[in-house]
Amino acid sequence: MSECRVNGTPQNWGLSQIVNGLRDARMEWRAHSGRMRASGEREFPSVAQVRCAVELLCGALFPMRLGPIDLREENEDAYVQLTLAKALDQLSHQVRLELGYGARHSAVAPETIAAQARELVSAFAAALPRVRVMLDTDVIAAYQGDPAARSVDEVLLCYPGVIAVIHHRLAHELYKLGAPLVARIVAEIAHADTGIDIHPGATIGASFFIDHGTGVVIGETTIIGERVRLYQAVTLGAKRFPASENGELKKGLPRHPILEDDVVIYAGATILGRITVGRASVIGGNVWLTNSVPAHSSVTQASLISDGATQDNGA
């Protein structure tokens, strides 16, 4: 949480008993859940610190648009170097906390965990030029895909879909490299700010555009091709959730849709399960789809109602 400052002198609320009760609740939770700490240090990454790192990274990726207002082109490289150094330092600390938490029941030395965090963040940093090139395709897709857009600068500065995709490109790299918790925090920062929920595990090709965006949900194992466009309130979700013998949901199974290149999905459509939407298909607004469709399909509510076979199969 960010620091909240309080003006004036706090009143006397008689908090000793409440503080003791909260401590007892924490200790009971940790004892019953097996989460007793090996030390008194913080175990988990900080949302506030991750947010700060992401803001710095956005400035380094697009310095003349998302960097400081007084930046000049002749100082771009110096700004990018200094900003990246700060961002990567913060990110490395948060990744170290995640890796340390994951290794809390093992005998891995703190020095080893710190080295692993540095190696992971170094690999992440090396990927940033490639991420920037990919994001350029997304920004261009947003500009070309919206007749109301007057410039690429407008979509980068103003469009929630572009903001969410920037966060996703960063989060996906962290997810692939082995920092899923920090990656999820990055994704949820964008979710909170834009209303667009993209799991960092989702694989998304170049030139991706989410128009308007609010309410879009993209699940963990979703695979999206190139030049795909989604509108608001689209869900790419799971149809069912298999459980293990102990009743817990099985993790990591492919359960979300595959969208091939050049697919367009209009507002309110719900696409569920490990199905494939073929290349250059168009899925109309408010369609509920649970069956694969071939390339160049056009699926609307009217077509589903008139096609009894499709309707009987659960689409």
For 145, 161, 232, 270, the CA distances from 215, given in Å and listed in that order, are: 19, 11, 6, 11
Structure tokens at 207: 């030139």
φ, ψ at 37 (rounded to 5°) = -80, 145
Low-confidence ranges of the chain (pLDDT < 50): 1, 309-315
Q: What is the pLDDT of residue 250?
A: 78
Which pLDDT value is given to residue 284?
97
CATH match for 215-242+250-315 among 2.130.10.10, 2.60.40.2230, 3.30.830.10, 2.160.10.10: 2.160.10.10
Burial class (CB within 10 angstroms; exposed 0-12, middle 13-18, buried 19+) of 80: middle
What integer pLDDT is reported at residue 24 of this predicted model?
A: 94
Residue 313 confidence (pLDDT): 40
Element (H, E) at 271: strand 270-272
Token duo for residue 248: 């817990």
**CATH top-level class of 44-196:** mainly alpha
Contact 222, 205 (CB under 8 A): no
Measured distance between the N- and C-terminal CA atoms of the chain, rounded to whole angstroms: 43
Question: Angle at CA 158, nearest 5°, toward 126 and 262?
Answer: 70
Closest to 55 (Cα-Cα) out of 84, 81, 98: 84
Q: How far is Cα of residue 28 from the mean position of the Cα atoms in its chain?
A: 33
Q: Where are the domains positioned within the chain?
A: 44-196, 215-242+250-315
Q: What per-residue confidence (pLDDT) applies to 35? A: 60
The reply to whether domains 44-196 and 215-242+250-315 share a CATH topology is no
